[in-house]
């Protein structure tokens, strides 16, 4: 079923698409530009992706913007990426809100500046009731760290007597993740040509279909999304069961 007030998208359209937006640096280097120019162009690609996803009827779009491991990059690049998130929130939230997009930011907030955290909180609050597309921005996100945080939450509840160890099952752990309430990833797209998950949504991608595209993220457009969605539609998902009977 589609979200409230919307017709359901065809079954071949994934409900939740995850994107590892990779290849910004190589895109820029190929043009003799600084890596920062690639990150900047990557924001335009993100805007195209959000629009194309909403047009296709995708309900959840999760984008990997900055990993917990990306702090290992030179300080100037890290600052640029932090600044870019700030600028994206400042410039795009009003338009996203007007288009009915709900914004959710996942990842560890404690390493971010309080003024940035405030902006993220406000963007989430402003758009909380929107019901067209949910845009999940993974920033300072690492799946292993998210799982460790979830384990800590559950352990704290057990220590407080609110939960017994027996009550810890996959549903309880899922509720303790940053993605609480968001369905699992159906289609995971990685641009840039690398074929790895780089600590993105390990739990949420348990049964995702993976599509790796050779295109650098700044070149990503609606046609590339359609290619990935077509590939997704051609896959047979079995979730551990058997091939669907045709006769
Ligand atoms: C992805 O592009 C953006 C981030 C990781 C922040 P990269 O910056 O990793 O670009 P490449 O992989 O070096 O080309
Ligand atoms: C993954 O890309 C992180 C983001 C896209 C934000 P990386 O470029 O950091 O991944 P690796 O280092 O190639 O695995
Ligand atoms: Mg990369």
What tens digit of pLDDT does each residue of 46-65 get? 999 999 999 999 999 999 99
Q: Is 4 within the bounds of a domain?
A: no
Question: Which atom from ligand 1 is nearest to the alpha carbon of 28?
Answer: 14
Q: Is 97 within the bounds of a domain?
A: yes
Mutate to test the pocket of ligand 1, among 20, 192, 213 (most ligand atoms within 8 A of CB): 192
For residue 138, what are the CA distances in angstroms to 66, 105, 161? 7, 6, 32
Tally of structural domains, the chain: 1
Q: Is 2 within the bounds of a domain?
A: no
d(CA 231, CA 208): 13
Residue nearest atom 8 in ligand 2 by C-alpha distance: 22
Q: Is 244 within the bounds of a domain?
A: no
Q: Is 78 within the bounds of a domain?
A: yes
Check residue 1 and give its pLDDT: 45
Check residue 244 and give its pLDDT: 76
Residue nearest atom 12 in ligand 1 by C-alpha distance: 23
H, E, C per residue of 63-87: EEEEEHHHHHCCHHHHHHHHHHHHH
Residue nearest atom 11 in ligand 2 by C-alpha distance: 198
Check residue 2 and give its pLDDT: 47
CATH number at residue 139: 3.40.1180.10
Question: Which atom from ligand 2 is nearest to the alpha carbon of 66?
Answer: 6
Q: Which one from 24, 55, 70, 170 is the annotated catalytic residue?
A: 70
Gap from CA of 118 to ligand 2 centroid (Å): 26
Q: pTM for this structure?
A: 0.95
Domain that holds residue 103: 16-233
Check residue 78 and give its pLDDT: 98
Is 131 labeled as catalytic in the residue annotation? Answer: no
Gap from CA of 191 to ligand 2 centroid (Å): 10
pLDDT in tens, 156-202: 999 999 999 999 999 999 999 999 999 999 999 999 999 999 999 99
Question: Which atom from ligand 2 is nearest to the alpha carbon of 198?
Answer: 14
Q: Is 90 within the bounds of a domain?
A: yes
Does ligand 1 have an atom closer than 6 angstroms to the CB of 66?
yes
Is 130 labeled as catalytic in the residue annotation? Answer: no
Does ligand 1 have an atom closer than 6 angstroms to the CB of 68?
no
**pLDDT above 90: residue 6:** no
Q: Is 198 within the bounds of a domain?
A: yes
pLDDT in tens, 95-142: 999 999 999 999 999 999 999 999 999 999 999 999 999 999 999 999
d(CA 211, CA 205): 12
Under 8 Å CB-to-CB from 213, ≥6 apart: which residues? 189, 190, 191, 192, 193, 220, 224, 227, 228
Q: Is 10 within the bounds of a domain?
A: no
């Amino acid at each position: 079923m589609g979200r409230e007030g919307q017709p359901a998208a065809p079954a071949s359209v994934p409900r939740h698409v995850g994107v590892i937006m990779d290849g910004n640096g190589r895109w820029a280097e190929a043009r003799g530009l600084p890596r920062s120019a690639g990150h900047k162009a990557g924001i335009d690609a993100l805007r195209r992706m959000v629009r194309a996803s909403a047009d296709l009827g995708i309900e959840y779009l999760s984008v990997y913007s900055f990993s917990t491991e990306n702090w290992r990059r030179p300080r100037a690049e890290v600052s640029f990426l932090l600044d870019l998130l700030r600028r994206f929130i400042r410039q795009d939230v009003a338009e996203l809100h007007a288009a009915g997009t709900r914004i959710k930011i996942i990842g560890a907030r404690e390493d971010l500046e309080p003024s940035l955290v405030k902006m993220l909180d406000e963007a989430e609050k402003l758009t909380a009731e929107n019901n067209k597309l949910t845009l999940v921005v993974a920033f300072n996100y690492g799946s292993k760290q998210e799982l460790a945080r979830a384990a800590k939450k559950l352990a704290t509840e057990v220590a407080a007597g609110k939960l017994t160890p027996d009550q810890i099952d996959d549903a309880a752990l899922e509720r303790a993740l940053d993605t609480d309430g968001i369905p699992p990833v159906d289609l995971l797209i990685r641009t840039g040509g690398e074929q790895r998950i780089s600590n993105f949504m390990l739990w949420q991608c348990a049964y995702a279909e993976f599509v790796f595209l050779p295109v650098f993220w700044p070149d990503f457009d609606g046609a590339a999304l359609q290619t990935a969605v077509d590939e997704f539609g051609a896959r047979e998902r079995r979730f551990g069961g058997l091939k669907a009977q045709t006769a």
